[in-house]
């Protein structure tokens, strides 16, 4: 079940707000409580993705950066 | 067949305000839904708030054209900047407590910029065509999502080209939104729209702003408790910027046609652009943030970097010959810490091949002003 319900959105090389748009499109038809991970290279994702999640009722589980990459894990809401 | 969204009939009720602070409000038996164009600026935020306060369900829509001032600047900003640049459209949505849908219109928007039927504004900003296009897209979204009407933050006379009394009906008509397009900030200067006539919203509680003054908006923001709004300088997009438009016009001239890709228009936002020959130009990073931004593009462009001295990363756009690369290296050396040195070593990467050139930096007077874009 977990393996099926985890989605990775690769937004590396994209500048904001494109990572938000890619995430939004990926999440659109997902059921609640699906885990999604976004990987990006634009530091703006660390601010924009949490804001977008707050607006849309998704929950951030973890956000971290390793060198030049940013990883944000979230769980879809409603 | 059961009708949904904006086709569903709604019954009207008359509601008399007990405090008699305003006249009767006509209410309906279902919550109507409006899609608000949210740019991240004050006017669209106020327009959405005015309608939200009338009990309408509002969701925001924001279009990413590639020219937007919003967002991308994250990548250019300096890491040590005290206040990180926020995406104002997201911020507005959060502040209002509404959802925001950001739509990628990069490809479709090209035709708006390249062939505006109503022409350009002071620079390469096709504001009227842009408005028509965006309201048209919002209309499409409204229909697909069962919403009832569209709201924008337009104010009559606010902008000389796109927000005039005579252009308001043009936007409504040519976008196909017709009287489902409501401008809450200036509605009372315009004929009643469907949401007003049907009593979905109370026209009395809309506004009649006009002209270039920002005072009524500031006052309304204060009244609504939205004083911490964003004040983006220079409007919603780079196309209103004179320097940016000059660089875009140069790009089209150099290519012999009006054409662009996303990379092109992103790169016009950063660096010093220098065109020493018609068939190539240099994009020289001016500071660390721009250097990092250009790093993301260097695998797709020929590029140069000084090695004997500190210096900015420089991309080359076009088809430079080996002699051109040498000239490029001399220009790059001019912007390096070795500008006064006899010789500066510059690494070149072109077509996957690396080279090393030892060049004399150009002197300031050897760079004619017309090279600078
Ligand atoms: S400033 Fe740019 S985004 Fe705004 S209406 Fe004009 S062309 Fe469109």
By Cβ distance, the residue of B89, B94, B101 closest to A54 is B94
In a domain, B189, yes or no: yes
Q: How far apart are CA B281 and CA B254, in angstroms?
A: 9
Q: What percentage of chain B exceeds 90 in pLDDT?
A: 75
- N-to-C CA span, chain A: 19
Query: Stretch B54-71: mean pLDDT, rounded?
Result: 90
Residue with tokens 């756009």: B317
- Token duo for residue B142: 């409204």
B167 lines ligand 1 (CB under 6 A): no
How far away is chain A from the Cα of B170, in angstroms, using its nearest Cα?
30
Q: How far apart are CA B30 and CA B69, in angstroms?
A: 38
Does B64 contact A55 at a Cβ distance shorter than 8 Å? Answer: no
Q: Looking at chain A, which residue has its C-alpha nearest residue B68?
A: A17
Q: Are B64 and A17 in contact (CB under 8 A)?
A: yes
Provide the CATH number for the domain around residue A16: 3.30.110.40
Asked if residue B188 and residue B109 are part of one domain, the reply reads yes
What are the chain A neighbours of B75 within 8 Å (beta carbons)? Answer: 15-16, 42-44
Query: Stretch B193-219: mean pLDDT, rounded?
Result: 95
pTM, two decimals, is 0.88
Asked if residue B275 and residue B219 are part of one domain, the reply reads no
In a domain, A39, yes or no: yes
Average pLDDT, chain B: 89
B239 Cα nearest atom in ligand 1: 2
Q: Examine the fold and report which residue of B223, B253, B285 is the final residue of a domain before the chain moves on.
A: B223
Q: Which of A48, A49, A35, A41 is nearest to A65 (CA)?
A: A41
Q: How far apart are CA B183 and CA B189, in angstroms?
A: 10
Q: What pLDDT does B317 receive?
A: 96
Residue with tokens 């315009």: B190
Q: What pLDDT does B24 receive?
A: 56
Range of the domain at A56: 6-75
Q: What pLDDT does B80 receive?
A: 42
Count Cβ atoms within 10 A of the Cβ of residue B180 and give its class: 0-12 exposed, 13-18 middle, 19 or more buried.
Answer: buried
What are the chain B neighbours of A24 within 8 Å (beta carbons)? Answer: 101-102
B134 Cα nearest atom in ligand 1: 8
Q: How far apart are CA B373 and CA B358, in angstroms?
A: 26
Q: How many domains does chain A have?
A: 1
By Cβ distance, the residue of A15, A24, A44 closest to B102 is A24
Q: Examine the fold and report which residue of B223, B251, B280 is the final residue of a domain before the chain moves on.
A: B223
Q: How far apart are CA B232 and CA B215, in angstroms?
A: 17
In a domain, B228, yes or no: no
Residue B70: CB partners within 8 Å, gap ≥ 6? A17, B40, B62, B87, B88, B89, B232, B236
Asked if the model's pLDDT at residue B87 lies above 50, the reply is: yes
Q: How many domains does chain B have?
A: 2
- N-to-C CA span, chain B: 61
Asked if residue B350 and residue B203 are part of one domain, the reply reads no
b (16+ CB within 10 A) / e for A25-61: ebbeeeeeebebbbbbbbbbbbbbbbbbbebbebeee
Q: What pLDDT does A31 receive?
A: 93
Q: Examine the fold and report which residue of B159, B193, B223 is the final residue of a domain before the chain moves on.
A: B223
Query: Stretch B81-105: mean pLDDT, rounded?
Result: 86
In a domain, A1, yes or no: no
Provide the CATH number for the domain around residue B168: 3.40.50.620
In a domain, B329, yes or no: yes
Asked if residue B127 and residue B216 are part of one domain, the reply reads yes
- Token duo for residue B221: 């923001």
C-alpha to C-alpha distances, B181 to B7, B157, B316, nearest whole angstrom = 16, 18, 45
Q: What pLDDT does B97 receive?
A: 96
Q: Are B116 and B129 in contact (CB under 8 A)?
A: yes
C-alpha to C-alpha distances, B268 to B96, B247, B293, nearest whole angstrom = 33, 7, 12
Q: How far apart are CA B152 and CA B330, in angstroms?
A: 51
Q: Looking at chain A, which residue has its C-alpha nearest residue B73?
A: A16
User: Which of B164 and A37 is assigned the larger pLDDT?
Assistant: A37
Q: Are B249 and B281 in contact (CB under 8 A)?
A: no
Residue A3: CB partners within 8 Å, gap ≥ 6? none
In a domain, A26, yes or no: yes
Asked if residue B200 and residue B94 are part of one domain, the reply reads yes
Active site residue A53: no
Q: Are B333 and B306 in contact (CB under 8 A)?
A: yes
Best of B63, B117, B130, B242 for a ligand 1 pocket test (most atoms within 8 Å of beta carbon) = B130
In a domain, B243, yes or no: no
Does B99 contact A41 at a Cβ distance shorter than 8 Å? Answer: no
Range of the domain at B19: 5-223
Tens digits of per-residue pLDDT, A50-66?
999 999 999 999 999 99
- Catalytic residue of the set A7, A16, A39, A46: A16
Q: How far apart are CA B370 and CA B275, in angstroms?
A: 8
How far away is chain A from the Cα of B288, in angstroms, using its nearest Cα?
15
User: What is the count of residue pairs from A and B with beta carbons less than 8 Å apart?
Assistant: 70
B125 lines ligand 1 (CB under 6 A): yes
Which of A11, A17, A29 is best to mutate for the B interface (most B CBs within 10 A)?
A: A17
Q: How far apart are CA B144 and CA B136, in angstroms?
A: 12
Tens digits of per-residue pLDDT, B141-183?
999 999 999 999 999 988 777 788 889 999 999 999 999 999 9
Asked if residue B278 and residue B206 are part of one domain, the reply reads no
Q: Looking at chain B, which residue has its C-alpha nearest residue A49?
A: B90
Residues 21-40 of A with CB under 8 A from B: 21, 24
Tens digits of per-residue pLDDT, B310-356?
999 999 999 999 999 999 999 999 999 999 999 999 999 998 899 99
pLDDT grade, residue B89 (50/70/90)?
A: very high
What are the chain B neighbours of A56 within 8 Å (beta carbons)? Answer: 99-100
Q: Are B130 and B118 in contact (CB under 8 A)?
A: no
B245 lines ligand 1 (CB under 6 A): no
- Token duo for residue B51: 């309608």
- Token duo for residue B323: 């002699």
**Which residue, judged by its Cα, is nearest atom 7 of ligand 1?**
B127
Q: Where are the alpha helices (DSSP H) in B145-203?
A: 168-175, 194-197
Reported ipTM: 0.91
- Token duo for residue B56: 């309408």
Peptide bond between residue A17 and the one before it cis (omega within 30 degrees of 0): yes
How far away is chain B from the Cα of A74, in angstroms, using its nearest Cα?
17
């Amino acid at each position: 079940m977990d393996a099926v319900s985890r989605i990775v959105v690769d937004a590396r090389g994209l500048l904001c707000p494109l990572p938000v748009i890619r995430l939004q499109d990926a999440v659109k038809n997902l059921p609640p409580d699906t885990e999604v991970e976004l990987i990006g290279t634009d530091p703006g994702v660390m601010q924009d993705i949490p804001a977008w999640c707050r607006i849309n009722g998704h929950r951030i589980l973890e956000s971290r950066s390793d060198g030049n990459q940013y990883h944000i894990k979230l769980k879809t809401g409603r | 067949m059961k009708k949904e969204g904006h086709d569903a009939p709604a019954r009207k009720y008359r509601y008399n305000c007990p405090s008699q602070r305003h006249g009767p409000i006509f209410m309906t038996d279902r919550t109507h839904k409006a899609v608000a164009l949210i740019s991240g600026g004050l006017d669209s935020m106020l327009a959405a708030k005015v309608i939200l306060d009338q009990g309408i369900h509002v969701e925001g829509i924001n279009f990413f054209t590639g020219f937007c001032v919003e967002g991308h600047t994250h990548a250019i900003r300096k890491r040590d900047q005290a206040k990180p640049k926020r995406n104002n459209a997201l911020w507005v949505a959060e502040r209002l407590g509404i959802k925001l849908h950001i739509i990628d219109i990069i490809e479709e928007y090209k035709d708006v910029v390249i062939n505006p039927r109503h022409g350009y504004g002071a620079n390469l900003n096709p504001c009227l065509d842009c408005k028509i296009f965006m309201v048209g897209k919002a209309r499409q979204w409204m229909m697909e999502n069962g919403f009832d009407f569209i709201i924008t933050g337009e104010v009559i006379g606010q902008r000389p080209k796109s927000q005039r009394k005579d252009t308001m009906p043009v936007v409504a008509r040519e976008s196909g939104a017709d009287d489902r397009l409501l401008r809450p900030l200036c509605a009372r200067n315009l004929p009643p729209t469907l949401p007003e006539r049907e009593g979905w919203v109370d026209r009395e509680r809309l506004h009649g702003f006009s002209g270039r003054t920002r005072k009524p908006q500031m006052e309304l923001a204060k009244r609504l408790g939205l004083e911490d709004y964003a004040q983006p300088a220079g409007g919603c997009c780079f196309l209103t910027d004179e320097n940016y438009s000059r660089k875009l016009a140069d790009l089209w001239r150099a290519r012999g046609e009006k054409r662009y890709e996303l990379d092109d228009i992103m790169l016009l936002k950063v660096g010093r652009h220098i065109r020493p020959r018609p068939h190539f130009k240099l994009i020289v990073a001016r500071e660390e943030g721009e250097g990092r931004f250009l790093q993301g593009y260097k695998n797709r462009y020929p590029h140069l970097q000084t090695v004997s001295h500190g210096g900015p990363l420089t991309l080359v756009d076009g088809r430079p010959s080996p002699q051109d690369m040498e000239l490029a290296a001399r220009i790059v050396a001019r912007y390096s810490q070795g500008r006064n040195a006899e010789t500066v070593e510059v690494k070149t990467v072109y077509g996957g091949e690396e080279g090393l050139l030892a060049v004399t930096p150009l002197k300031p007077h050897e760079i004619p002003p017309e090279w600078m874009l």
